[in-house]
Amino acid sequence: MQGHTFGEAPERVPQPEAKARAKGQVVHIVIMGCGRVGSTLAHILEDRENTVAVIDRDPEAFRRLRPTFKGDRVTGIGFDRDVLARAGIERADGFAAVSSGDNSNIIAARVARETFAVPQVAARIYDPRRAEVYQRLGIPTVATVRWTADQMLRKLLPEGAEPLWRDPTGKVVLSQVTVSPGWIGEPVKALEREAQTRIAYLDRLGESVVPRGSTVLQDGDVVHVIAAADDLDRIAAAFAAKDRSGH
C-alpha cells in the first residue's frame, strides 16, 4: 500500500519505541523538505528497508517522490509540533532538515532534538558562517555551498591542492600532502614525529592503508593527513624537507 498525503492529523495515539536501534534493524526517519535532496534521501532510505516520512509545505513537492514510495507524505511546516507528530517524530530515529531555508532547517532541527529527543539530527545550511555556529551548538550541519565549492576546486586545481574533506567550521581538513623521496624507506612514525602530525592513511597501489607503528613509507605511497587547516603549510614543509642523503 502506498503512503498517504496527510491533511488533518489522524486520530491515533503515538506508540513510544526505543530510540536506540541495533545495526541492521529498520529505523524511522523524518525528512523536512521534498526537493531534490529530500526526495533522493527518502528513496535511498526506503530502498534500505527503513520507514520514511517526508514533510513539505507545498503538496506539489511530493511529485518528486516516485509513485511506488510507501512512506508518509505530510503537508505542513516542518518545525510545527503537530506536523512533526503526524510524521511520527515521537518514534523517529533520525531527522533531516533539507528544505531551501536555513532558518527553517535549524529551527526544525532544534525542535526535533530538544523537544522530541531524536537521537540523530542533521540540517542543511547554505551559509557557511551559520553552519559553524550551529555546529558548535551541537546541531550537525551540512554546509552545502562550502562543500560544493570544495568539490569544484578539487576538480579544477592540481591534485592535492584542495583538501579531500573539511569539517563544517573549515578548521580541520583531510588533505593529501606531497612527501620528499628522502622519506622512502623510513618508518611512518618518524615522518609523523618530524611533522608533529598524524597520518590518517596511505594510498598504496590503489588501496588504502592505515599505518601502524611498523609501517614503512614505500615508493609511490600517497600520504593523507588530518590536521588543522592552519598547519598544512608547516606540515608540507616538513614532509618536503628531507633529501635522499637523509638531511
In the chain, the domains with their CATH numbers are 5-125 (3.40.50.720), 171-240 (3.30.70.1450)
Q: How many helices (H) and strands (E) does the chain have?
A: 7, 12
Q: How far is CA 71 from the centre of its chain?
A: 23
* Residues in the chain, overall count: 247
Q: At what angle do helices 102-110 and 128-136 cross, to 10 degrees?
A: 10
CA 201 to CA 217: how far, in whole Å? 11
pLDDT of residue 19: 43
pLDDT of residue 157: 60
- The grid coordinates listed for 197 are 602530525
pLDDT of residue 150: 66
Smallest CA-to-CA distance from 163 within 235, 215, 219, 211 is with 235
**DSSP letters for 121-140:** EEEEES-HHHHHHHHHTT--
pLDDT of residue 153: 67
Task: Report DSSP state, residue 187.
Answer: B
3-state SS of 139-177 is: CCEEEHHHHHHHHHHHHHCCCCCCCCEECCCCCEEEEEE
Beta bridge partners of 142: 124
Beta bridge partners of 99: none
The answer to whether the beta carbons of residues 166 and 146 sit under 8 Å apart is yes
The answer to whether the beta carbons of residues 197 and 225 sit under 8 Å apart is yes
User: 0.75 cut: is pTM over it?
Assistant: no
pLDDT of residue 11: 38
CA 142 to CA 125: how far, in whole Å? 6
pLDDT of residue 78: 95
The tens-digit pLDDT sequence of the chain (247 residues) is 444 444 433 333 344 444 444 455 779 999 999 999 999 999 999 999 999 999 999 999 999 999 999 999 999 999 999 999 999 999 999 999 999 999 999 999 999 999 999 999 999 988 877 877 777 777 888 877 766 776 676 666 665 556 778 776 778 888 888 899 999 999 999 999 999 999 999 999 889 999 998 999 999 999 999 999 899 899 999 999 875 555 5
- The grid coordinates listed for 62 are 511530493
